[in-house]
Amino acid sequence: MEIVLFIIIILLASTLQTSTGFGFSILATPFLLLLFEPREAIQINLILSLFISLALIRRIKRDINKGVLKRFVVGSALGVPFGIITFLMIDIRMLSLTVSLVVLLLTVLLILNFRLRQTEGRDLLVGGLSGTLTSSIGMPGPPVLLYFSGTSAQKANIRGTTLAFYLFIYSVSLIIQVLFAGTNKTIWLTSVIAVPLVMAGLYLGQALFGRVNQQHFRIFTYIILLFTGVYLLVDNWTP
């Protein structure tokens, strides 16, 4: 049963990554925490997210806003140490609660069509928050997704800059996680097994992109995120 659930999680997250533009980690991490220990769930997510970034980066590298990317990278470099310290200090239950609250807050703000004007200082801040979230819970997406949703930047530039930033922050966070939290064979074997599922999901998402109403896909995604966030919150809040 757990294997079937794992297959569904990876396929769904990969498909929605391509179909809606949501980050793989935002969708996969909460579900992976239901199947694995936090360190395993986070590192599996980092490995697969890094693979996705590598697979897609060639197509969109001409769309990267190098100025914004540089500020994101600088900010994230300052945030990563805080994230790994947080991960090492808080217990499993608190980590799951943190993920649930981040997911719920993100979903509510997206539904409310949250807007924020882009500035160079905020680029650094968003990068810092993303760095902290990536090295602690494996999710750089919420700050970046919310930030870019309120800007007038072109979709191609947003996608290219975000993907390039993810490539950097996933690599750094995975190295930091392995060095300070350790790793194991289960993490890497599971990741290798999941790679064909990720490729299938990316292909399926691309095929569906032009055929399915994107607004319906977003509503479906919000429902999944809300359900997962509430489930993790209730499951870990109950004594």
pLDDT value at 100 more than 70: yes
pTM of this structure: 0.84
Percent of the chain with pLDDT over 70: 89
pLDDT-wise least confident of 8-17, 46-55, 77-86, 218-227:
218-227
Q: Confidence band (pLDDT; 50, 70, 90) for 63? A: confident
Please provide the average confidence, as pLDDT, over all residues in the chain.
83
Ramachandran assignment for 184, one of left (phi > 0), alpha (psi -120 to 50 degrees), beta (any other): beta
Q: How far apart are CA 85 and CA 102, in angstroms?
A: 18
pLDDT value at 81 more than 80: yes
Which burial class, exposed, middle or buried, applies to 157 when counting CB atoms under 10 A from its CB (0-12, 13-18, 19+)?
Answer: middle
Write the pLDDT tens digit of every residue in 29-49.
888 888 898 889 999 999 999
Query: Residues 204, 208, 209, 210: is their CA dihedral positive or negative?
Result: positive
Mean pLDDT, to the nearest integer, of 2-16?
87
Residue 33 CA: distances (Å) to CA of 95, 147, 152: 10, 26, 35
Mean pLDDT, to the nearest integer, of 61-84?
90
Q: How far apart are CA 239 and CA 224, in angstroms?
A: 25
Taking alpha carbons only, the member of 151, 199, 162 closest to residue 60 is: 162
pLDDT value at 70 more than 90: yes
- Domain ranges for the chain: 2-237
Mean pLDDT, to the nearest integer, of 181-200?
94
- 179: its two tokens: 């060095």
